[in-house]
Amino acid sequence: MNKVEETNRHKLIWDFQKEIIKVYEENDLTNLSGLHRDFILNGKNILKWYYEAIETKNARDPNFDFHRCFDDLIFCSDEILFYTALLYLYRPYLQNPIEDAYPFDGKIIYPYTQTIEVSRFNMFTNSLYEKIYNYWDRIGDLIAAFFPDIFKDSSNIYFVKSIDKFPSKFSNSENFLWLKSFRDNQFKEVNSKRVRIVHYELAGTSNRWDHIENPTNKLAIEKIVNERNNLPDFFKDHINYTKIGFEKTIQLIEEITIK
């Protein structure tokens, strides 16, 4: 690659980043660190807040790296934001089988076409389920770090386990109750889809074969298309859950260390 090609590619990277920022702004998307990395969430500096909350003389896992955990939470939040923006970017250009319908042998066919936009959209969707799981897995690690006597095996800690084995003396906390409700509802839903994608069948494969099995069923096709097109908004809701969940977790840690 010559110098001109290299320069043009580098420019393309930053031109693309400018478009992504536009998508962030158009859809009111942001992450834990903020689009300008000021770390301000609801008027509070979360960088300062996090490190003040974990500075405690109370028992906590001496081997847990709180610095790395914070970095992971921030990076996971960045990933969820970026992939969600990509869904919004690609959504207007997805093939619409209702618009592309044509008559055949006395019936109306609603065709499925694997365009580059559809393919990329499905890739980002698969990744988002995993990124959301990664984020909450780190939240689970953080909570468990304050109960080393309960969570002794650091290799076997995850969000659901941290909530299910959480000490009963703190179970009336409003912060814990929010986390538990999230674990039982929104997280359960997104994790069941992640498990299917990781272990059984990718999102694009499911959509394609659901479509193939119903090529003349307009109601079924409309349902498939609507569910696909609603995914950016679904993941935008989960961005909001990550921010609320961070606040609830830090407030819960403050309650734990005080008691």
Residue 66 CB burial class (10 angstroms; 0-12, 13-18, ≥19): middle
Per-residue pLDDT of the chain (259 residues; tens, 9 = 90+): 787 777 899 999 999 999 999 999 999 999 999 999 999 999 999 999 999 999 876 668 888 999 999 999 999 999 999 999 999 999 999 999 999 999 888 899 989 999 999 999 999 999 999 999 999 999 999 999 998 888 877 778 889 999 999 988 888 999 999 999 999 999 999 999 999 999 999 998 998 899 889 889 999 999 999 999 999 999 999 999 999 999 999 999 999 887 6
Q: Where are the domains of the chain?
A: 29-258
CA separation for the pair 33, 44 (Å, rounded) = 11
Question: 239 with 88: CB under 8 angstroms?
Answer: no
